[in-house]
Amino acid sequence: LQKSQAFQAYRLSNRWTPTQSNPGPPRVGGYGGSSSNSLYQFSRGLAAGNSEFQNLSAKAIENAYKQLPSLPVTGTNFEVEPWSLAKHVQHAPDFGLNPYNYGMTYADLQSIADIGLINQIRAGKTPPNAQFVKDFQLRYKLFTESHLMFEKNNDTVMGKSCTSFKNLITGVFTSFRNDSNNSFTGYKLTPLQSLRHDNYNRIGRNY
Amino acid sequence: MEYNKNLHLELLKRSQKLQQEGKHLYEESPEDFLKLRDLSALMIGYLHWQNREHYLELIEELLNGSIHFLPLRKKYTSINRAVELLEAELIFLDPIKPYTKAFNFMFLIDDLISLFDRYCSDPTICESHELTEEELRDSIQDMFIKIKQELIIESN
């Protein structure tokens, strides 16, 4: 039964293979448009090159993203919260999301991986808009819900005690912190990383 | 686990044939799929090890300059992709040492790359598992020493 379920989960994830489409203009998120401090205004200000938004404190940037609602993972106590995914948005293509559909390029994602989201904003480069983060949250949630049978609750991910859900075939995983039940990180493991995860229950360095 | 080139070739061929038929090796045999994954892992690890001197250079540059992870990430990602390309064309490497001997090195490189996801550029919003620039530099320095020690042990 598990083999069959594993393969069904693989098929589901496989449908998320990123598709190339024409890059469109930056699209601002549509969430919370009526609030004066909304992520909508924040991302619109950034898209317009408004330096007022570039110079916001890190806490204000974090709070802007945190205005998006967390998504509960059905069948678990876990939640996919927006900030953990926004700051690791470079991993979104591993869940089949194409940055071009959100006014970003792969180079933008690489830049976030290189200097971090806060510095990306300070440098006047493109950050993920609300819709990108919301879609990433939804993919993360759906992936987890379709891999519940692969739950491992004694993992150490980047030194944190976590529960993880991994697709053995693709190597894509999601993880949730055991102390807060919030989403932690997720991406596609290499065969080497996946092998190590199977053998030692850990991803990344342990402390 | 020891590297077995003939088995690697056989499993890759079978996997490719099944893919052409719209199937997957995992469907036919999860055990063989995992064997193939592990053989790929050994090949990836070996290529990382073969590039050890350039890795050391890049880590030194990172420690001596501003915090930019891109060169190291690119190197790491390129090697992983290179193995995918080699496997797709059924090209194999004859190792000058057993693949398994490169394991410690490749685990250390893997640890190093994973550190970058924990970088928090602004201490006002750092979470407990995240690292400030200073902490990150200390961790990289620590890893750098371990990698060098590993290479000294290997060369003896």
Nearest-neighbour CA in chain A from B137: distance (Å) = 14
Q: How distant, in Å, are the alpha carbons of A14, A179, B51, B139 from that of B116?
A: 27, 22, 20, 10
Q: Which pLDDT score is estimated for A46?
A: 63
- The per-residue b/e assignment along B4-21, b for 16 or more CB within 10 angstroms, e otherwise, is eeeebeebbebbeebeee
Distance CA A137, CA A47 (A): 22
Q: B31 touching A, CB under 8 A?
A: no
Q: Which pLDDT score is estimated for B42?
A: 87
Distance CA B26, CA B72 (A): 32
Share of chain B above pLDDT 70, in %: 94
Of A58, A113, A192, the CB nearest to B122: A58
Mean pLDDT of the B66-88 span: 90
Inter-chain CB proximity A158 and B37 less than 8 Å: no
Nearest-neighbour CA in chain B from A21: distance (Å) = 23
* β-bridge mates for residue A173, sequence order: A166, A187
Q: What is the pLDDT of residues B38-52, one digit of tens each?
A: 999 888 888 999 899
Q: Which pLDDT score is estimated for B68?
A: 83
Which chain B residues are Cβ-neighbours of A113 within 8 angstroms?
Answer: 69-70, 73, 116
Q: What is the pLDDT of residues A112-153, one digit of tens each?
A: 988 889 998 888 888 998 889 999 999 999 999 999 999 999
Inter-chain CB proximity B121 and A116 less than 8 Å: yes
How confident is residue B32, by pLDDT bands cut at 50, 70 and 90? very high
Nearest-neighbour CA in chain A from B26: distance (Å) = 7
**Do the beta carbons of residue A89 and residue A117 sit within 8 Å?**
yes
**Do the beta carbons of residue B99 and residue B42 sit within 8 Å?**
yes
Answer with the residue of higher pLDDT: B102 or B7: B7
Amino acid identity of A61?
I
Residues of chain A with pLDDT under 50: 17-37
Q: State CA A44 to chain mean position distance.
A: 21
The highest-confidence range among A32-41, A56-65, B53-62, B147-156, by mean pLDDT, is B53-62
Q: A185 touching B, CB under 8 A?
A: yes
Residue A148: Cβ-neighbour burial (10 angstroms; 0-12, 13-18, 19+): middle
Q: How distant, in Å, are the alpha carbons of A41, A50, A103, A118, B11 from that of B42?
A: 49, 49, 38, 37, 14
Of A59, A169, A192, the CB nearest to B24: A169
Mean of all residue pLDDT scores within chain B: 88
pLDDT at B152 over 70: yes
pLDDT at B141 over 90: yes
